[in-house]
Amino acid sequence: MESGGLMHTLAFFLLSGITLAAAMGVVFKRNLVQSAFLLSVTFLGVAGLYMTLEAEFMAAVQALVYSGAVAVLVVIGVMLTHREQMSRSNPPNKMLFAGAFAALSVVGVMVWAILATPWKVGKGSVVTAGDIGRRFLTDFAPPFEAVALLLLAALIGAVVLFKGGKAQS
Amino acid sequence: MWVDFSLHHAWLIPLLPALAFAIISFFLLRSPQLASRLAIAAMGSAFLIALGVGWAVVSKGITVEAPFVMKTVWFSMPGLVAGMGVLIDPIAAMMLFVVSLISLLVLIYSTGYMTGDPGYARFFAFMSLFAASMLAMVIATNFLQLFVFWELVGLCSYLLIGWYFHKISAREAGKKAFMTTRIGDFGLLLGILFLQIAFGTLDFGELAVKVPAYVSQNGAALMTCVALLLFAGPVAKSGQFPLHVWLPDAMEGPTPVSALIHAATMVVAGVYLVARAFAIFSVLPGAMTVIAWLGCFTALFAACIALTQREIKRILAFSTISQLGYMMLALGVGSLTASMFHLMTHAFFKALLFLGAGSILHALHDKADIFEMGGLRKSMPATCAMMGIAVLAIAGIPPFAGFFSKDEILVAAAHVSTPLYIGASFTAFLTAFYMARLFLVAFFGEENPHDHPHESGMSMLFPMGVLAVLSIFAGAVPFALGFGDWVRFGPAHHAGIDWGIASASTLIALAGFSLAWLIYGGGAKRSDAIAKQAGVLYSLSLNKFYVDELYQWFNRNIVTGLARVLYWVDLNVVDGIVDGAAQKSGAVGAILRRFQTGQTQQYAAVMLIATVMLALILAFSAGAVAGGGKI
Amino acid sequence: MIGLSHYLLVGAVLFGLGLFGLLTKRNLIAVLMSIELMLNSVNINLVAFSRYTATDAAAGQVFSLFIIAVAAAEVAVGLALAYAIYRGRDTVSIDDMNWLKW
C-alpha cells in the first residue's frame, strides 16, 4: 500500500479506529466473553495496521498467533475459570479513578513526548519474510534459540500447572 | 658443657614442669605414684638446669647490665610487636634457683603429706603447672610475657587454694584470692597498656632505656601514675595492704601449697615484678616513696595482726605479709640487693616454717590452734628442732639467714629515712615476739593428753632438713661470696655489716624472744590476762583490724547500693532506650504496613505514577524538552 | 499524510487502554488480556519505527516477533497460573489475592 496516499490515510484511520474501539470494549465491557472476542478484533485491527506499514509477514503472524492462538487460549481460560453470571463477569475494582489517573498520566506523558519529539523520518524500507528468516538464522540465531527454549519451557510449565500437583488432585 | 647447655636451654626450666603437668593430666591421673615421680623428676631436671644457669651467670660474667637474652617474635601487627624469650641475668638466675629448689622440695614433701588424697596425681599436676608458670614468669623478656604467666600463676593459686573444694571455706578462699589479685592485675594491665602506647615496646631492656630518658625530658608526674598502676599488681599479688586479705584465707589450701605460695611462687611474683621493672621505678622518687612506706606499713600492720592469731598457718601467713612488706620496703628505699636477698632467705625459712607447720598438722590431723597443741617437742623432736632454726632465722638472730638479709634492709632503710628504719626495727621486734610465741606455745607448754602425735616420715623430713641447712647458711654464705656484686641495680654494692644496726637488731630480736618467754613461758593463763588488759588493741589485732569486715561492709552497702542504682538505670534508661526504639519501630511499621496491601494492582499503579514522575523530572531537570531532538 | 507520529499515537492510546485495564480489572483473565493489549501497542511502535526510521528495518520486525513469541509463552503460562490459582483458591478475583503481604 502506497505510503502517504489517500487510501493509506483512510485505511489507517479505519483500522486504528477499529483497533482502539475494540480495545475500549475489551477494557470497559462487563462481560468477559465479549471482552475476549473484542480482544480478537483488536488483534486483527493491529494486523491491519501492520499491513498499512507494509509488514505483511508481521500481519500474518499477528493474525495467526494472536487472533488465532492467544484469543482462543483466553476464551478457554474464561470458560475454565468462570461459573457466575456472565454479564457481570468482568467488573472493575475499587481503583477505578486511581487507575484512570495513572493510565491517563502515562498516556499524557507519552503523547507529549511523541508530539514534542522532532522525529527524523528516513525514506523507509520494506522488509520481506525472506529478510526476517535470514536474520533469524544468522545475526539473531542465539536469541532465536533462546526463544525456542522459552516456548518449550512455557509449554511444559503450562501443562504442569494445568495438570496440577499431587497435593491438589 | 652442662653450663652452656643450661644457659642456652633455659626455656626448658619452665617447660619441663609444664610438660609434666600435661602428661599427668592427660595420661597419669589414675597412676598417682608415676605422677608424683614424673613431677619430681621434671622439677629436679629443671632445678639442675637452673643450677647450671646460675653457674653460667657467675662463670660467664653475665651481669644486670649485660643480661643473656634470647628473643623471638611471638606475634606482630602494625603498632604492636610482642616478643617471647628468655632473659637471664643474676636476678632471674637467683629466682630460678630459689623457685625450682623450693618447688622440688615441696613436691618431695607432698609425696608424704598428700598420701591418701583422692586427687593425688592431679595435685602434682597443678603444683607442676604452678611452678612452671612462676619459672616462666621469671625469665620473661617483656611485660606481656610476664603478664601472661603472672595470670597463670593466679589461676594455679585459685586451683590449689580451693583444693579441698568440698569445703565452702576453701572454695571461697580460692575465689577471694583470685578476685583480690584481679583488682591489682587490672591496674597492672592498665600500666602495661600505657607503656605499650607511650613507648611502643614492652621489652624490659628497651624500657629501661626509654623510660628514664622520658622522665628526664618530661618530668616524672605521668610516669609516676603509670608506675603506681603497675605497682597495683604487686600490691595484690604480694599481699600488700590493703589487698593482703586473700593471703590469710589462702591457708585453706593444703600446706605444701601454702609453702609454695608463700615461699617461692605466688607472692614473691609481685616483688620480682618490681625488681624486674626497677629501671622504671628507680627514676620515679614519688613511686619509690609510696612503695617504701606501703611496704613498711604492711610489715608493721601484718606483724601486729600476727601477734594474736591462734591458728598456726594464719600466724605464718601474716608473717609472710610482714616479710613481703620488708621486701617492698627494701625496693622502695632503692636497695634491690637487700630485697632480693631477703626474698631468697625468706623463701627458705618460710618454706621450712610451712613445711614444719604441715608436719604438725599432719600429725595432729589438721588441728590448727597452737594453744591446743602443746608440748610437741617430745613427740616431734626433729620437727621441733627445724622449726626452731626457722624461727631463729626469721627473727634475725646471727648467724642464721634472716639476720643478714634483714640487716641489709635495715641498713638501706636507715640510709633513706629514720622513720622507716624505726618501723622496720619495730616490726623485727614484733616478728621475734610472735614467732617465739608460736614456737613456745606449740612445742613447749603442757602436752595435750588427747593427742598422740608422731614424727613425720622421711619424705617430709628430708626437704625440711635441706631447708633447715639453707636457713642457717643461705645468709652468711652468699653474703660472704658477694651476693650484692651480682644481684643489684646500679653500681655494685659492697655492704659490710653495719655493726651498730646489726647489734641493735639482734638485741631487738632477743628482746622480742624474752618478752614472749615472759608471757608464754608460763602457760596460757598469763597471756589471757594480758589479752584482757589490752582490750581494744587485742581485739583489733585478733580481728585483723577489721579489714575484711570493712570490705564486707563496703560490699554490702556501697557496692550493692551502687549495683541497685545501676540496675535501675539499666532497667529504666538503657532498656528504656532499647524498648523505646523497638516500640517506635513498631509504630512506624504499623503506619507503613498500610502501604503493604498485597494488592498487585495498587503496587503497579504506584509504580507507574512514580515512573511518570521520574520521566517528568528527568525531562525538565535536563533543561530541555523531552526527546531534545536527539533521535 | 499519515506518518510515524500517527502510529505512535495509536500505540500510546492502546497502551493507555491496556494500562487502565491492568489497573482496574478485577478478573485475573481480564488483566491478562489488558497485558496483551499493551504488548500489542509496543509491537505497533516497533514495526512503525522499522518502517519509517530504521536503517536496519528487519531488526525491528525481528524484535517484534520475539515479543510475540514471549507474549504467547506469557499468556500460556499466565492462564495456567490463573487456572491453578482458581483450582486451589476457588477465585480469579485479584482483590482476593493479597498473599503478597505477610
Distance between start and end Cα atoms, chain A: 55
Contact C80 A162 (CB under 8 A): yes
Please, which chains are in contact with B (at least 3 CB pairs closer than 8 A)?
Answer: A, C
Nearest Cα to Cα of residue B168 among B249, B237, B267, B257: B249
* Per-residue pLDDT tens over the stretch B526-560: 666 666 666 666 676 666 667 777 777 777 777 88
Closest residue, chain A, to C8 (C-alpha): A114
Tell me which chain B residues have a C-beta less than 8 angstroms from the C-beta of C97: 598, 600
Tell me which chain B residues have a C-beta less than 8 angstroms from the C-beta of C99: 598
A53 pLDDT above the threshold of 50 = yes
Task: Tell me the angle at which helices A32-52 and A71-81 cross, rounded to the nearest 10 degrees.
Answer: 170
Contact A120 C12 (CB under 8 A): no
Report d(CA A122, CA A140) in Å as an integer. 24
Of the ranges B24-33, B122-131, B440-449, B613-622, which one carries the lowest mean pLDDT score? Answer: B440-449
Question: Residue B568, exposed/middle/buried by CB under 10 A (0-12, 13-18, 19+)?
Answer: exposed
Report d(CA B490, CA B106) in Å as an integer. 34
**Dihedral (C-alpha) B284, B289, B290, B295: value to the nearest 10 degrees?**
130
> Which helix or strand (DSSP H or E) is residue B75 part of?
strand B68-77
**Dihedral (C-alpha) A96, A97, A100, A106: value to the nearest 10 degrees?**
-130
> All 3 cell numbers of residue B134?
612462676
Residue C13 Cα, gap to closest chain B Cα (Å): 16
Report d(CA B305, CA B98) in Å as an integer. 28
Question: Which residues, in sequence order, are bridge partners of residue B85?
Answer: B71
Secondary structure tally for chain B: helices H, strands E: 29, 2
Which residue of B596, B600, B608 is in closest CB contact with C94? B600
A131 reaches C (C-beta below 8 A): yes
Mean pLDDT, residues B262-282: 83
Contact B600 C100 (CB under 8 A): yes
Optimal mutation site among B606, B609, B613, B620, interface A, most CBs of chain A within 10 A: B609
Place of cell 595435750: B448
A106 reaches B (C-beta below 8 A): yes
Position B349 scores a pLDDT of 86
Percent of all residues in chain B with a pLDDT value above 70, rounded to a whole number: 90
B631 pLDDT above the threshold of 60 = no
> SS3 letters for B119-147?
CHHHHHHHHHHHHHHHHHHHCCCEHHHHH
Residue C68 Cα, gap to closest chain B Cα (Å): 23
Give the CA count within 13 Å in the CB-facing half-sphere of B571.
6
Q: How confident is the model at residue B309 (pLDDT cuts 50, 70, 90)?
A: confident
Coil, strand, or helix at residue B404?
A: helix
Mean pLDDT score of chain B = 81
Contact B600 C97 (CB under 8 A): yes
Interface of A with B in 109-128 (CB under 8 A): 109, 112-113, 116-120
Position B526 scores a pLDDT of 62
Closest residue, chain B, to A118 (C-alpha): B629
> All 3 cell numbers of residue A146?
533462546
Which residue of B616, B625, B629 is in closest CB contact with A109? B616
CA angle C92, C96, C97 (to 5 degrees): 80
Radius of gyration of chain A (CA): 20
Alpha helices in A65-166 (DSSP H): 71-81, 96-116, 129-137, 141-163
Contact A106 B608 (CB under 8 A): yes
> All 3 cell numbers of residue B257?
601449697
B623 pLDDT above the threshold of 60 = no
C55 reaches B (C-beta below 8 A): no
Alpha helices in B220-335 (DSSP H): 221-237, 246-249, 255-259, 266-276, 278-281, 285-306, 312-332
Q: How confident is the model at residue B522 (pLDDT cuts 50, 70, 90)?
A: low
A6 pLDDT above the threshold of 70 = yes
> SS3 letters for B513-555?
HHHHHHHHCCCHHHHHHHHHHHCHHHHHHHCHHHHHHHHHHHH
Percent of all residues in chain A with a pLDDT value above 70, rounded to a whole number: 90
Which residue of C23, C98, C99 is in closest CB contact with B605? C23
Question: Which residues, in sequence order, are bridge partners of residue A92?
Answer: C25
Contact A154 C57 (CB under 8 A): no
Closest residue, chain C, to A19 (C-alpha): C14
Mean pLDDT score of chain A = 84
With a CB cutoff of 8 Å and minimum separation 6, the contacts of B263 are: B102, B106, B346, B347, B348, B350, B351, B354
C30 reaches B (C-beta below 8 A): no
**Residues B111/B124, Cβ–Cβ less than 8 Å:** no
* Per-residue pLDDT tens over the stretch B316-349: 888 888 888 888 888 888 788 888 888 888 888 8
Report d(CA B147, CA B505) in Å as an integer. 37
Optimal mutation site among C10, C31, C67, C89, interface A, most CBs of chain A within 10 A: C10
Question: Which residues, in sequence order, are bridge partners of residue B311?
Answer: B369
Mean pLDDT, residues B106-118: 83
Position C38 scores a pLDDT of 92
Percent of all residues in chain B with a pLDDT value above 90, rounded to a whole number: 1
B74 pLDDT above the threshold of 70 = yes
Position B627 scores a pLDDT of 47
What's the predicted TM-score (pTM) here? 0.64
Position A165 scores a pLDDT of 63
Mean pLDDT, residues B153-162: 85
**Residues B220/B523, Cβ–Cβ less than 8 Å:** no
Tell me which chain A residues have a C-beta less than 8 angstroms from the C-beta of C90: none
Closest residue, chain B, to A93 (C-alpha): B601
At B209, which amino acid appears?
A: V
Residue C102 Cα, gap to closest chain B Cα (Å): 8
Q: What is the DSSP string of B430-453?
A: HHHHHHHHHHHHHHSSPPPTT---
Report d(CA B410, CA A36) in Å as an integer. 116
Position A2 scores a pLDDT of 52
Alpha helices in B365-417 (DSSP H): 376-379, 381-395, 401-416
Nearest Cα to Cα of residue B500 among B433, B421, B436: B421
Cα four-point dihedral sign B93, B132, B326, B477: negative
A141 reaches C (C-beta below 8 A): no
ipTM of the predicted structure? Answer: 0.88
Tell me which chain C residues have a C-beta less than 8 angstroms from the C-beta of A42: 14, 37, 40
Position B297 scores a pLDDT of 87
Contact C22 B597 (CB under 8 A): no
> All 3 cell numbers of residue B442?
606449740
Nearest Cα to Cα of residue A117 among B110, C12, B406: C12
Report d(CA B125, CA B413) in Å as an integer. 41
Mean pLDDT, residues A56-80: 84
C15 reaches A (C-beta below 8 A): yes
Residue B623 Cα, gap to closest chain C Cα (Å): 24
Tell me which chain C residues have a C-beta less than 8 angstroms from the C-beta of B597: 98, 101
With a CB cutoff of 8 Å and minimum separation 6, the contacts of B224 are: B284, B286, B287
Tell me which chain C residues have a C-beta less than 8 angstroms from the C-beta of A91: 26-27
* Per-residue pLDDT tens over the stretch B224-242: 888 888 888 888 888 887 7
Mean pLDDT, residues B40-49: 89
Optimal mutation site among A9, A15, A16, interface C, most CBs of chain C within 10 A: A16
Position A98 scores a pLDDT of 84
Interface of A with C in 17-76 (CB under 8 A): 19-20, 23-24, 26-27, 32, 35-36, 39, 42-43, 46, 49-50, 52-55, 57-58, 61-62, 65-66, 69-70, 73-74, 76
CA angle B379, B381, B383 (to 5 degrees): 105
Contacts A–B by Cβ distance under 8 A:
40
Tell me which chain C residues have a C-beta less than 8 angstroms from the C-beta of B598: 97-101
C43 reaches A (C-beta below 8 A): yes
> All 3 cell numbers of residue B22?
600435661
Q: How confident is the model at residue B629 (pLDDT cuts 50, 70, 90)?
A: very low
Mean pLDDT, residues B187-212: 84
Which residue of C13, C73, C86 is in closest CB contact with A151? C73
Q: How confident is the model at residue A22 (pLDDT cuts 50, 70, 90)?
A: very high
At B85, which amino acid appears?
A: G
B397 pLDDT above the threshold of 70 = yes
pLDDT in tens, chain C (102 residues): 678 888 999 999 999 999 999 988 888 888 888 999 999 999 999 888 888 876 777 888 888 899 988 888 888 888 888 888 888 888 778 777 777 666
Which residue of A32, A55, A164 is in closest CB contact with C87? A164
Position A124 scores a pLDDT of 67
Mean pLDDT, residues B200-229: 83
**Dihedral (C-alpha) B281, B283, B285, B291: value to the nearest 10 degrees?**
10
Position A169 scores a pLDDT of 44
Closest residue, chain C, to B594 (C-alpha): C101
Question: Residue A18, exposed/middle/buried by CB under 10 A (0-12, 13-18, 19+)?
Answer: middle
B126 pLDDT above the threshold of 50 = yes
Which residue of B597, B604, B608 is in closest CB contact with C98? B597
